Amino acid sequence: MVEGQLALVLFAAVCILLMLGFPVAFTLAGTSLIAAALGTLSGFFDPSYLSALPARIFGTMGNETLIAVPLFILMGNILERARIAEDLLSNMAKLFGRRPGGLGVSVVLVGALLAASTGIVGATVVTMGLLSLPTMLRAGYSPALASGTIAATGTLGQIIPPSIALVLLGDIISSAYQQAQLKLGVINTATVSVGDLFVGALIPGGLLVGLYVIFIMGSATLFPKLAPPAQTEKLDIKALLNGLIPPLLLIALVLGSILVGAATPTEAAGVGAIGALLLAVSRGEMNISRLREIGLATLRITSMVFMILIGAAVFSLVFRGFGGDHFIESFFQDRVGHPELALLIVMVVIFLLGFILDFIEITFVVVPIVGPILLAMGFDPIWLGIMIAINLQTSFLTPPFGFALFYLRGVAPESVQTTAIYKGVIPFIIIQLLLLGALWQWPMLITWLPSVM
């Protein structure tokens, strides 16, 4: 029991240090190693647990699924820096902008595509904030509605495939599911792939985008002053098709090849990166200098992800060495008992952790701890993965600590008050909570499509 409590102290120490602004990867590894050293000296920790670290790092290096991460990051960076996203937004605004709420609808649709391709909440919110917030304000949009739309759209990368968040979460859920099956005595373990999570996310992601669009159009209809028609340039059909079709075909090619089984997520990510590069070259938006910027940006983000993964591996070993996994498992079995109550507690904890940790840290640190326990209780792995992804998406949007709000505040004009941003995201938070409730009540919204494909 003492060891289990020390594991919780370790977890709390990591959270406190992260709140103070220390680097995530080095905080995870450094704090864990210090705790392991102190535990070894006091007799509460067996240092042999750390002997598994080289094998874990080598396993990460040989994990083919994780190769998709830098490729999807590269694809997103190319689409962003080659001004493809900017042209998409401009053309969509010409198509819908002259209608009440049309500019907001354009932001949601383009933001969904951009969020899916980049998968990083901060990058999408900053990009859409810089591109569309000034335009929406000039068109007379309510600052609250405009900022709420952009912040909510920026978090769509958590759930809309092909998403980096789902790639990382799918790899962790797959491992947790196999552990749960072995714990239940199932020898011929079934597997869960990243592609399964992609398929499972299609209906919830589509519902979320549809609900956003309905809310914006409804607001514009009931309260015309909130989202008036925008004065856009005359629509040029040829320019519209040239701006819309190539990137839409690229996304369809990447996602479609995964859904029909023609390619793994890693192979599809490679196709997407090359396709985005060819698209940028064909539009004259690529040169050596810009290619170097894209490469360096991809390297920085990829290095961050994998350094966090290594730090999380150290934390996980030390946490287990202190008996943390057994402590949590016994807590849920002995004191909670009911599976749905256990899941509710985990979802609330993950929601609160989303205020201080990014999805990468939560995926690598928290999900490996609670995932096997919940899956051993009988929850469907695909359903659980999508529920966690939407839960985190809601957390990143919730005042006063949501990451998306901080990113948008950093690029929003001074005329947009922080209270307006907070007020603007509340309807979208309600929409996401309603969707979570619907998915909890009707799991088939997630599990049906993977079961038939």
Q: Are the C-beta atoms of 279 and 246 separated by less than 8 Å? A: yes
* Residue 124 confidence (pLDDT) above 80: no
In the chain, what are the helix, strand and coil shares in percent, each to the nearest 5?
Answer: 80, 0, 20
Structure tokens at 391: 């839960």
Interval 317-336: pLDDT, tens:
898 888 887 888 788 777 77
Q: Where are the domains of the chain?
A: 2-452
Which helix (H) or strand (E) segment holds residue 292: the answer is: helix 288-321
* Residue 190 confidence (pLDDT) above 80: no
End-to-end Cα distance, the chain: 46
Measured CA to CA, the distance from residue 402 to residue 371 in angstroms comes to 24
Measured CA to CA, the distance from residue 319 to residue 32 in angstroms comes to 8
Q: Give the confidence band of 93 by pLDDT, cuts at 50, 70, 90.
A: confident
| SS3 category, 94 | helix
The reported pLDDT for the residue numbered 119 is 59
Q: Give the confidence band of 125 by pLDDT, cuts at 50, 70, 90.
A: confident
Tell me the pLDDT of the chain averaged across its residues. 85
* Residue 231 confidence (pLDDT) above 80: no
| Total residue count of the chain as it appears in this document | 453
* Residue 1 confidence (pLDDT) above 60: no
pTM, to two decimals? 0.86
Amino acid letter for position 295: G
Q: Are the C-beta atoms of 148 and 424 separated by less than 8 Å? A: yes
- A 10 A CB-CB count for 83 gives 15
Rg (alpha carbons) of the chain, rounded to whole number: 22
Interval 198-216: pLDDT, tens:
899 999 999 999 999 999 9
